[in-house]
Structure 1
Amino acid sequence: MRRIIATLTGATMAALIVPTLVTVAPASAKAVRTTQATAADPVSALKRQFRTHRGVKLAENTKIVGEGKKNRAIFTRRSGVLEFGRTGLVASDLTTKFSLPLPDSDELKGLFTPSRTLSLKGVSYTSGGVFAESMPEGKKWLRTPGDTLSLVSAVQQIISTVEPGTLRTTLAHTRAKRPGGTWDGTRTTVHSGTITLAELFKVSPAVRTLLGRKPTGRSATLPVTWKIYLGSDQLVRRVVSSYTESTRGLNSTELTYVNDTRYTGWGTKVTIKAPPADQVADFDELIGDTTQPEDPIGEIFKG
């Protein structure tokens, strides 16, 4: 259950140190060409954002649809900020809200209450969410240890383009390019293609955290269709992905996930801090029955 809670709570924020300006001699033609090539590389453009106390704002919509007569849909909205360090993502501050197709189900409503999660230094702190009513008096944040800061959950974007390796590998599967309109004040080019879950598992720390183990069989070859919108500065402005997961044997249905993520304000100043210690509780301090369904999303589409 702790893995489910960890995947249903996300986390992100960012920060940059502005480099000192220096006077340099005119660059050679070869150096100019090298700089231009680097500027045209989305992975290099991303890595240049990896500076202390700088980050990017995130806004994401997810739709989960069941098949056939049970084609109800769950909608989620996630927003907040990601913080970078010199090597990549180091912290996040994300708020998640749900819109459920079963307004009369108090139990399921409790599982999908709005939540805010701060993640930093290998720990996540969640306020609200599934265990909100089980918190001891005076405590607001539930602490969840974790080895990897993850942007991915079953209801969130599976292609984490703030990971250089994931961005590089995904773009290597580009099958088409076309103008993508204007996003975050810049004209974009949209790259589109398909990548398998096994390929994502190999390159993405976030996906490895989500799955816990290497996908095999049909899961390994599960196709994830994607679109990545790159601005004129080669930074990602939008990511749209979709995949269909078979849950037959659990609740006899298939679920299609469509994730649409927008990135704005690259270079935003960010400093994410842990909540006050006197407002934090651990799992062993929770009050009452904390048992939850193993497959809460599947429960909604059951039958």
Structure 2
Amino acid sequence: MRRTLAALTGATLAALIAPLPALPAPAEAASGPASLTPAADRRVSAADPVSALTRRFKAHRGVRLAENTKIIGEGKKYRTIFTRRSGVLEFGGKGLVASDLTTRFTVPTKGEDGLAGVFAPSRTISVKGTAYTSGGIYADSMPEGKKWLRTPGDTGSLVSAVQQIISTVEPGTLRATLARTAARRPGGTWDGTRTTVHSGTITLGELFGVSPSVRAMLGTKPTGRSATLPVSWKIYLGSDLLVRRVVSSYTESTRGLNSTELTYVNDTRYTGWGTKVTIKAPPADQVAEFDELTVGADDARGAQDPVRGFFEN
């Protein structure tokens, strides 16, 4: 339990001090092991929101995303919107292929703690298995004439501990989550369409089994009590069965690490399904690699894997 929770906490740190990782390959994003019973499959196919999603997987078409994350401390003493993300996602024939997202933090950025750089706004373009980040903690360390930091990788996700843990643009994740629907009710109007809100609970272990983004975030399969960590969720489906809003929450207890308990509430809105979009990598002459940054060698190594560096110290 403690190891997986440490990974979640470490992912929070990673989100603060490193650029977003690259997106998974399209085939991976559109697939993944699902553990649904035939009855669960029938419950999902009756509404068929998964087919509604996959019909939107067309080249140079996408959807706009707006998201905020609240972190609530023990006893609900501390409640704040910790991050805001907005931008656009681009699909290909098999799923998500690129994204262009800007992240802003709503935390103190002045004072003796020197947090201005850590929590500076950043923009990340993820395309063809590579992420390019502008701004953020490394803005002052970029070499002259360079604006973007390149982070290559063959795995990655749209989520971290301070972002939406239920990625409903992954067909397998959407299918498995909706299969655990416990209640339905009218959800109001979002993106100009009346919605029905489905709600329920899915465990961290179940999400790991179906979601490429969660597997990338955690790295290793959760076991024991960690595997049964409940993630509560609400998914708002429009009359066209496309997702318009996702709200999820979970509580991680880090007692023994820093003796605290934090609840993460992620609220994601999708608008403009079918938006025309073509996301391209930044100009090559504006891109820098990690070894070009004007920081110490140890800092550069830790930046590439901040979670491991934190917990091995």
- TM-score normalized by the length of structure 2: 0.80
Structure 1 counterpart of 2:128: 121
1:106 positional shift: 3.9
1:148 positional shift: 2.9
Q: Which moved more, 1:205-214 or 1:101-110?
A: 101-110
Q: Residue deviations 1:215-248, cap 9 Å, x none?
A: 1222211100000000000000000000011122
Distance 1:178 1:217 in 2: 33
Aligned with 2:229 (options 197, 218, 222): 222
Q: State the structure with more CA Rg.
A: 1
Structure 2 counterpart of 1:156: 163
1:250 positional shift: 2.2
1:184 aligns with 2:191: yes
Do the aligned partners of residues 144 and 244 (structure 1) sit closer, same or farther apart at CA in structure 2, a change above 3 Å counting? same
1:170 aligns with 2:177: yes
Superposed, 1:1-303 pairs within 5 Å as 4=14, 9=20, 40-68=47-75, 71=78, 73-101=80-108, 103-289=110-296, 290=299
Q: Is residue 65–residue 74 contact of structure 1 (8 Å, CA) maintained in 2?
A: no
Distance 1:264 1:244 in 2: 28
Q: Is residue 8–residue 153 contact of structure 1 (8 Å, CA) maintained in 2?
A: no
SS class of match (1:4): helix
Equivalent residue letter for 1:212: G
Equivalent residue letter for 2:142: M
User: After TM superposition, where is structure 1 displaced by more than 6 Å over at least 4 residues in a row?
Assistant: none
Q: Is residue 136–residue 281 contact of structure 1 (8 Å, CA) maintained in 2?
A: yes
Q: Is residue 66–residue 85 contact of structure 2 (8 Å, CA) maintained in 1?
A: yes
Q: Which moved more, 1:149-158 or 1:89-98?
A: 149-158
Structure 1 counterpart of 2:29: none
Equivalent residue letter for 2:162: V
Q: Which moved more, 1:179-188 or 1:244-253?
A: 244-253
Distance 1:66 1:104 in 2: 22
1:199 positional shift: 0.3
Equivalent residue letter for 1:209: A
Equivalent residue letter for 1:230: L
User: Is there any run of 5+ residues in structure 1 with no aligned partner, and where?
Assistant: 13-36, 299-303
Distance 2:123 2:50 in 1: 29
Equivalent residue letter for 1:219: S
User: Is there any run of 5+ residues in structure 2 with no aligned partner, and where?
Assistant: 1-9, 24-43
SS class of match (1:199): helix
1:101 positional shift: 5.0
1:74 positional shift: 5.0
Distance 1:116 1:90 in 2: 17
1:89 positional shift: 0.2
Q: Is residue 9–residue 117 contact of structure 1 (8 Å, CA) maintained in 2?
A: yes
What is the CA RMSD across the aligned residues, in angstroms?
2.6
Count of paired positions: 272
Distance 1:8 1:255 in 2: 23
Identity across matched positions, percent: 76
Equivalent residue letter for 1:278: D
Q: Residue deviations 1:7-27, cap 9 Å, x none?
A: 752678xxxxxxxxxxxxxxx
Q: Is residue 39–residue 233 contact of structure 1 (8 Å, CA) maintained in 2?
A: no
SS class of match (1:132): helix
- TM-score normalized by the length of structure 1: 0.83
